[in-house]
Amino acid sequence: MIAPAICCADVTLGYGPHPAVHHLDGDFERGSLTAILGPNGAGKSTLLKAIAGELKPLSGHFDFGADKPRIAYLPQLAEIDRSFPLTVFELLAMGLWRKLGLFGGLSKEDRHTIGQALDAVGLVGFENRRIDTLSGGQMSRVLFARVMLQDCDIVLLDEPFAAIDARTVVDLIALVERWHAEGRTILAVLHDDALARAHFPSSLLLAREPIAWGATADVLTEINLRTARRMVEAHDPHAPLCEVA
Amino acid sequence: MDSVYALLIAPFAEFDFMRRALVGASVLAVSAAPIGVFLMLRRMSLVGDAMAHAILPGAAVGYLIAGLSLGAMTLGGLVAGFAVALLAGLVARLTKLREDASLAAFYLMSLALGVTLISLRGSNIDLLHVLFGSVLALDDQALYLIGGVASVTALVFTIVVRPLVMESIDPVFLRAVSRAGAPAHLAFLALAVLNLVGGFQALGTLLAVGIMMLPAIASRFWAQTLTGMIAVAIIIGISATIAGLLISFHLGLASGPTIILIAGLFYIVSMVIGPQGGLLASYLPQRHLEA
């Protein structure tokens, strides 16, 4: 039995006293490809942020096993300042930070790797374009290329397919499936049930509490989806304090 | 030919203090350019101004203890500037307050303290000297200080430039791959303080911000890349220094403010005719490629 990639041990996440994710218990198996679904405010992005180490759990913890894995996190587009004068090539070079550090120069091989990543996302010839001239879909492609360059064990994608056209989604899904085939553990926040059913073997349906977690077909049932919607709407500002063990 | 010489060359050839002013202010312009460009790109253009005010009480304490001594006032200014930068950064990280708000709170307290300290002793003339400097009275010590500041700036900047760029664009990404973000940010603020302190003997605490920000802001209208912007800012800074010194010499104006005014003029002209989003470029029809 292989140890899971990410073990969530009674994790509660939130900002202030209101929990955004409540008592999440369970494992993301090594090499699994999981869609995280749920209504707005269900805690999906919060969960990814916490796994990425951006947010400290209010209680509980994540267990990554003996060796701390390398985690690549693809934030929502809005979190990136695209007015900064940088080229696509330079942004991609950030993905090689672990290798280059403060001073390391780009070798011929590195340049080749970056070129390959651009090729993989269908942006050959975009090296010298400034990032403020890219469309939303092109920027998504660039960020996917950067995730590729990071070459990580765990890949977290926060709404990677929001507001991009069908063709771009198809191209990027193909990349995700390639990473899956390479044995990486992938978590993606989605808003599209059909996409999850078609391409993601596992799903986690979240509505502050985990509603269902497992094989996508078992998780995305009509009953579960309805429960999820009701859970988030029933937000009680006067809820009693939760006992912390 | 003679008149051109008299107009442009003679002031520097004949007067030692003009040469010193030229060297001091030019080196300052080079050193402050990258700081100014980054402050602008990170939407922190007013931070330099706040820092300049924050430096005042330190310089005042130095002045109270040792009179108009460059060493004492520099040291005091550095201590006060670093303290305010650090406190503002800490409050922003530990409490709900954002960095601009906590910086505003600290620099205002610092400024009031500085003015109070200066008014304890000395006439208004001294206060004017601290606030507005005297670029025409740069002695060896002041030039060494400016040279030192420029060297440290160049050195530290090469170390922190990558994390600084990454933090500006995608702070979440940087935090995920490295812990260099916070130290780089602090080092950057320290460089800003250092350049302001270096500039205050020449231009005064308040005008030192001018040589940092005005060329940087103007450069946005000319260049598309970071390197390009810094290069343009340096060129504008040095040009403003030379023109400002000459104009103030011939017309008998205060030299520090004249340099900054000329830098301001560069900004206005850049804003109107600059090819990167200047007024004219935005309103005139532009050519575009076929595909």
Calpha distance B249→B246 (Å, rounded): 5
Q: Is residue B167 predicted with pLDDT exceeding 80? A: yes
What average pLDDT does the segment A179-205 reach?
93
Closest-CA distance of chain B to residue A199, Å: 26
Helix (H) or strand (E) run with residue B169 in it: helix B140-169
Q: What is the mean pLDDT of chain A?
A: 88
Closest-CA distance of chain A to residue B178, Å: 8
Residues of B in contact with A90 (CB under 8 A): 165
Closest-CA distance of chain B to residue A129, Å: 11
Here the tokens at position A192 are 């599209």
Cβ–Cβ of B173/A81 closer than 8 Å?
no
Backbone angles phi, psi at A211, to 5 degrees: -85, -45
Calpha distance A97→B246 (Å, rounded): 47
pLDDT grade for A236, boundaries at 50, 70 and 90: low
Cβ–Cβ of A97/B41 closer than 8 Å?
no
What average pLDDT does the segment B48-73 reach?
84
What average pLDDT does the segment A187-212 reach?
91
Which site among B173, B227, B289 would you substitute to test the A interface, given the most A Cβ atoms closer than 10 Å to its Cβ? Answer: B173
Q: How far apart, in Å, do the first and last CA atoms of chain A sit?
A: 30
Calpha distance B31→B191 (Å, rounded): 10
**For the whole model, what pTM was predicted?**
0.87
Q: Is residue A1 predicted with pLDDT exceeding 60? A: no
Q: Is residue B14 predicted with pLDDT exceeding 70? A: yes
**A219 residue type, one letter:** V
B→A interface, C-beta within 8 Å: 41, 159-160, 162-163, 165-166, 168-170, 172-173, 175-178, 180, 223-226, 229
Nearest to A75 by CA among B67, B174, B291: B174
What is the three-class DSSP state of A165?
coil
pLDDT grade for A228, boundaries at 50, 70 and 90: confident
Domains contained in chain B, CATH given: 2-276 (1.10.3470.10)
What average pLDDT does the segment B252-280 reach?
93
Here the tokens at position B194 are 């250092």
E-strand stretches of chain A: 6-15, 18-28, 33-37, 59-63, 71-74, 154-158, 185-189, 202-207, 209-215
For B235, half-sphere exposure in the C-beta direction (CA atoms, 13 angstrom radius) is 11
Q: Is residue B111 predicted with pLDDT exceeding 60? A: yes
Q: What is the pLDDT of residues A62-117, one digit of tens each?
A: 998 878 888 999 988 878 888 899 999 999 999 998 888 888 888 999 999 999 99
Q: Which residues of B252-281 are buried (b: 16+ CB within 10 A; e: fewer)?
A: eebbbbbbbbbbbebbeebbeebebebeee
Calpha distance B91→B82 (Å, rounded): 14
Calpha distance B159→A69 (Å, rounded): 28
Cβ–Cβ of B41/A85 closer than 8 Å?
yes
Contacts of A240 (CB under 8 A, 6+ apart): none
Cβ–Cβ of B41/A86 closer than 8 Å?
no
Closest-CA distance of chain A to residue B180, Å: 9
pLDDT at B126: 64
pLDDT at B284: 80
Q: Give the torsion through C-alpha atoms of B158, A85, B169, A127, to 10 deg.
A: -90
The residue of chain A with its CA nearest to that of B229 is: A85
pLDDT grade for A237, boundaries at 50, 70 and 90: low
What average pLDDT does the segment B227-243 reach?
96
Closest-CA distance of chain A to residue B48, Å: 19
What average pLDDT does the segment A45-61 reach?
89
Q: Which residue of B168, B175, B180 is in closest CB contact with A84?
A: B168
